[in-house]
Amino acid sequence: MLFTVDPGSPVPLGDQIAASVRRAIADGTVHPGERLPAARALADSLGVNVHTVLRGYQRLREEGLIELRRGRGAVVTGAPTSAGRARLVEGVHGLVTQARAIGLSDDELLALVRNGLTGG
């Protein structure tokens, strides 16, 4: 699995790491049950702080895409919908980025989503 980060990007490094994993799950490069690199090893290879990697992993855990287990590390969840969920989360991140680029507030974006759900 290839991890890349761009220190010059406005996207926080931890979010970039999470996005790399999300894409790999979405495209089937990484499968349920597969272990991700240890945080310390990944931090060393990317030249970032270990807490940066842990922030990215924590975000993925909150999204339900990985499990963090003591002694076993970060493992892609075994849910059969992991790839679909990863694609959906990537889409949401893209939607938020687009909304912010055109100046929409979070509340305005949420209103648009709610209206879309109710057919309004």
pLDDT tens sequence across 47-62: 999 999 999 999 999 9
CATH number of the domain bearing residue 51 = 1.10.10.10
Q: Mean pLDDT in the chain?
A: 88
Count of beta carbons in the 10 Å neighbourhood of residue 76:
22
- Confirm whether 40 is domain-assigned: yes
Confidence of residue 105 (pLDDT cuts 50, 70, 90): very high
Range of the domain at 63: 13-118
- Confirm whether 1 is domain-assigned: no
* 117 Rama sector, left if φ>0, alpha if ψ -120 to 50, beta otherwise: alpha
- Confirm whether 111 is domain-assigned: yes
Instruction: Supply 8's token pair.
Output: 């010059």
Mean pLDDT calculated for residue range 35-55: 96
Cα angle at 42 between 45 and 57, to 5 degrees?
A: 150
> What total of structural domains would you count in the chain?
1
- Confirm whether 100 is domain-assigned: yes
**Of the ranges 53-62, 70-79, 107-116, the best mean pLDDT one:** 53-62
- Confirm whether 67 is domain-assigned: yes
Secondary structure (3-state) at 111: helix
Looking at residue 92, its pLDDT comes to 84
Looking at residue 76, its pLDDT comes to 92
Instruction: Output the CA–CA distances (angstroms, integers) from residue 32 to 5, 21, 36, 61, 74, in the order listed.
Output: 24, 12, 11, 13, 11
Contact 96, 109 (CB under 8 A): yes
Looking at residue 119, its pLDDT comes to 65
- Confirm whether 7 is domain-assigned: no
Q: Choose among 77, 78, 59: nearest CA to 20.
A: 59
